[in-house]
Structure 1
Amino acid sequence: MSATTQAGMPEYQPVKAEHFQPRDGLGNVLEKLRNGERVNIAYLGGSITAANGWRVKTREWFQEEFPKADIHEIHAAIGGTGSDLGVFRVQRDALRHEPDLLFVEFAVNDGGASPERIWKAMEGIVRQTWAADPTTDICFVYTYRVGYENDLRDGNCPRAAGAMEMLADHYQIPSINFAKKVVEMEQADELVFKADSAPANGLIHFSKDGVHPLGGGHQIYADMVAQGVELMSESKPVDHQSKLGSTFVEDHWQAAKMVPVDKSMLSGDWEQLPEDSTLARRFGNRMGALWEATTPGAKLTFKFRGSTAKLYDLLGPDGGQVIISVDGTPRSKPVPRFDSYCTYHRIATLSLANNLDADETHTVTVEVHPEQPDRQSVAFRLKNPEEELKAPKYQGTCVRFGQILILGDIVSE
């Protein structure tokens, strides 16, 4: 499965889809469950996992199946995000809570990413997890979206899941293919992928949008987890430490990390949002302390040694735009913190620097631009855009930053 080029680097090959790939199984967490110990189960993924669906149903199944165990859920899913953010946030959102089992769900949100990018991020997640605790078991799960049936009907995984399978095979990580089951049920006339209303004849209505399962779809996912765990019931405990001795891709993102914005990095007019403010209550659990600037010229400046830097920030209707400079060279255009979805605030990432010399120290500056971005991209979502875009809600040059995301390390002054 893990085909390589002559240079020893992976080369993507189509991967046969299987419902379950037990590989090294879940022996560590199963032993704790059977012994009635405390067990922490983490769910890292996108909106499909963030919904109160298969995540909640599987946690409940584990508790019913192992009633003596003290089971706790670690909710580490954020809608609209893939493994390229997951690798930066896995420590804060999952690993610091000491999971015994980590489910990783990014096969849909990584659908447009290249196998090479998927390998870097997913391998970073795996290696960070086992560097923190080599007894933590990991399980990859592959969800469905409309379009994935094309590959699955031919017997193959969609490309994102296939790339993840190649990595899982290298590290002997078990996987469960939800999407294969969904497609089989549709072919057997038991399910419809997408419909605005419930279909006749008792068919399962999987989703309204072709991506996000309704109750019946989430139950299919939960049932697949239960079957997979039962299939792996005889797996033995494994110390995963030895698996870190070889890599799948040399430039994996194990070094990915989040670093809080420090007050010493800020100049100009900045405010740390109070914990009881609306945005801090909504996003603080993921982003930590939030810093806000509304005045043009306010700057964030930091130095790091590494290859990549991003900002964990918020987009919103009052979002401004920023001037980004790396090692003294500014970008040709300001970057808006506003887009066509900005009738509300949401978590985003702002790319600052990529593919730099990882052995050098780099200086990054992000400055609030004096002009607002063009708001017309959101007009089609408004009932009366001409008037609504004049309202205070859509005015401002506001930026809000939470964490710095880097492949490397912050360099103190």
Structure 2
Amino acid sequence: MTEDKNMLDKKSNADLFIIARRGLPAIKHKLLHNVPLNDSITVAFLGGSITEGAGATDAETSSWRALTGSYLQGRYVNQSFRFINAGVGGTDSTLGAHRLHEHVLRAGRIDLLFVEFSVNDGNDRDESIRGMEGIVRQCWRLSPETDICFLYTAAEKNLTGSRPFNIAVHEEVAGHYGIPSVNFAARIYTQIQAGERVWKELAPDGYHPNDAGHALYAGFLQKYLETALASDSMVAHRQEVSSTAPLDSLNYEYGMMLDGHGADYSEAFENRELKLGDPLMNWRFSTEHIYSDDPEASFSFTVTGQGAGLVLLIGPDTGIFEYSVNGSPYTAVNMFDDWCLNAYRPLPAMFPIRDQREKLHVTVRNTGMKDERSLGSGLRILKLLCN
């Protein structure tokens, strides 16, 4: 049942550090009933750069993600664990829903999924609902035994006595599906107000915690896990996602990130990878992509769903492209921004969502035009998107 939004808005941020809801029944059952040693428990971490480990001296040992893995392995010494790092810097829940399958679910059964996007999600409530709800519904449709927990990290916008916008929106989804949440930002804010912490000493850039900040986050989460995984903790079985009406029928439950080579390209395109030394941020995976700077270059692809899009590798030489869906008038898109001046990075271009699932034929053309700050008119296709 969805929590009453008006009641939620009246609660202070500090009062909502941990909301247990239905708990973590599946992984708790496995841990308490001694899963066979040859059957490891898989814990995945889906989020942005904070989840990836930015700010930590060593993301694989001193980030909150790594410390949480160490805690679980240390607490359950006879249990085999597998941990998946699906944190990608600069990504929000929209792209999170579309990359969930490739970066998490295709690895097989997932026992516990932590989701962290409260800092990277923007001011569009509908888009944030669609992303977070899409993650939940896709996960439970494809991996129904997975326990999910939402995490809310700190940034200036989240350090407030009232419930911050992004956290409030994510809580709408958490409340609707009975998902537990741990609000790191609320606890940090309480400690700042009590004179116990100085935010800039924990996150010098205002976003990414240093080792001390990551350790603090890990400690907050461990406090929840100690209770949630205890033998006497209360849990409730969740409803089947198929029987739960969505908050937004346009959510990204069917979001997928597809191989960029699945489109039909004109001869002007060629396969490329970034060269050694090319500046790259927010992507630790392959940079293989399809490239052209020819003003006559075009490509097309067809998907079935409510929407389509692209993940482009944008950077110093990115140009302006235009697209058409099912014969609609072409719409020009300029994705060049200040970050492009310094490095390449992946960025999604989402095309308008349809009310119903249908076959969508997308045509994309290079325009040969560019932002005045760009060094060229390049078009680099990393992935195709559909929902």
Pick the TM interval, shorter chain. Answer: 0.7 to 0.9
In the other structure, the counterpart of 2:215 is 219
Closer, same or farther in 2 for the Cα pair 1:131/1:278, shift >3 Å? farther
Pairwise CA distance, 1:87 = 0.8
Q: 2: distance between equivalents of 1:284 and 1:218?
A: 21
Closer, same or farther in 2 for the Cα pair 1:350/1:12, shift >3 Å? farther
- Give matches, 1:129-168, under 5 Å: 129-150=139-160, 153=161, 156-168=162-174
Q: Deviations over 1:41-61 (max 9, x none)?
A: 111111111112111111111
Q: 1: distance between equivalents of 2:301 and 2:346?
A: 21
In the other structure, the counterpart of 1:379 is none
Q: 2: distance between equivalents of 1:81 and 1:180?
A: 22
Q: 2: distance between equivalents of 1:2 and 1:237?
A: 17
Pairwise CA distance, 1:363 = 2.6
Most deviating of 13-22 and 312-321: 13-22
In the other structure, the counterpart of 2:339 is 341
In the other structure, the counterpart of 1:183 is 189
The answer as to whether partners of 1:93 and 1:286 remain within 8 angstroms in 2 is no
- Give matches, 1:33-44, under 5 Å: 33-34=31-32, 35=34, 36=37, 37-44=39-46
Pairwise CA distance, 1:148 = 2.5
SS of the aligned residue for 1:312 comes to: strand
The answer as to whether partners of 1:313 and 1:400 remain within 8 angstroms in 2 is yes
The answer as to whether partners of 2:88 and 2:283 remain within 8 angstroms in 1 is no
Q: 2: distance between equivalents of 1:283 and 1:79?
A: 4
Q: 2: distance between equivalents of 1:298 and 1:230?
A: 56
Closer, same or farther in 2 for the Cα pair 1:244/1:237, shift >3 Å? farther
SS of the aligned residue for 1:328 comes to: coil
In the other structure, the counterpart of 1:46 is 48
Higher relative contact order (CA 8 A, sep 6+): 2
In the other structure, the counterpart of 2:56 is none
Pair 1:14-2:9 in alignment? yes
Q: Deviations over 1:290-333 (max 9, x none)?
A: 2122322111212334332210111111222212223334446x
The answer as to whether partners of 2:263 and 2:299 remain within 8 angstroms in 1 is no
Closer, same or farther in 2 for the Cα pair 1:95/1:185, shift >3 Å? same
In the other structure, the counterpart of 2:376 is 396
The answer as to whether partners of 1:167 and 1:248 remain within 8 angstroms in 2 is no
In the other structure, the counterpart of 2:253 is 254
SS of the aligned residue for 1:369 comes to: strand
- Give matches, 1:113-132, under 5 Å: 113-114=124-125, 116-132=126-142
In the other structure, the counterpart of 2:24 is 26
Closer, same or farther in 2 for the Cα pair 1:132/1:357, shift >3 Å? closer
The answer as to whether partners of 1:26 and 1:236 remain within 8 angstroms in 2 is no
The answer as to whether partners of 1:74 and 1:94 remain within 8 angstroms in 2 is yes
Pairwise CA distance, 1:19 = 1.7
1:94 aligned residue (100, 104, 109): 104
Pair 1:206-2:202 in alignment? yes
1:368 aligned residue (363, 366, 371): 366
Closer, same or farther in 2 for the Cα pair 1:12/1:24, shift >3 Å? closer
Closer, same or farther in 2 for the Cα pair 1:27/1:364, shift >3 Å? same
Residue type matched to 1:96 in 2? Answer: R
SS of the aligned residue for 1:170 comes to: helix
Closer, same or farther in 2 for the Cα pair 1:12/1:78, shift >3 Å? farther
SS of the aligned residue for 2:175 comes to: helix
Q: Deviations over 1:137-169 (max 9, x none)?
A: 11111111113233xx2xx43122122223222
Q: 2: distance between equivalents of 1:218 and 1:271?
A: 42
1:79 aligned residue (79, 89, 109): 89
Q: 2: distance between equivalents of 1:346 and 1:87?
A: 18
Structure number with bigger Rg = 1
SS of the aligned residue for 2:23 comes to: coil
In the other structure, the counterpart of 2:179 is 173
The answer as to whether partners of 2:94 and 2:252 remain within 8 angstroms in 1 is no
- TM-score for the superposition, normalised by structure 1: 0.80
Q: 1: distance between equivalents of 2:119 and 2:283?
A: 26
- TM-score for the superposition, normalised by structure 2: 0.85
SS of the aligned residue for 1:338 comes to: coil
Pairwise CA distance, 1:231 = 1.1
Pairwise CA distance, 1:283 = 8.3
Q: Deviations over 1:329-376 (max 9, x none)?
A: 4446x423432111110010123x21335354333211122234311x
Residue type matched to 2:25 in 1? Answer: G
- Give matches, 1:350-369, under 5 Å: 350-351=349-350, 353-356=351-354, 358-369=356-367
The answer as to whether partners of 1:287 and 1:402 remain within 8 angstroms in 2 is no
Q: 2: distance between equivalents of 1:220 and 1:119?
A: 28
The answer as to whether partners of 1:291 and 1:400 remain within 8 angstroms in 2 is yes
Structure 1 unmatched ranges of 5 or more: 5-9, 195-204, 376-393, 408-413
In the other structure, the counterpart of 2:121 is 110
The answer as to whether partners of 1:260 and 1:404 remain within 8 angstroms in 2 is yes
Q: 2: distance between equivalents of 1:224 and 1:136?
A: 22
The answer as to whether partners of 1:269 and 1:298 remain within 8 angstroms in 2 is yes
The answer as to whether partners of 2:122 and 2:128 remain within 8 angstroms in 1 is no
The answer as to whether partners of 1:294 and 1:398 remain within 8 angstroms in 2 is yes
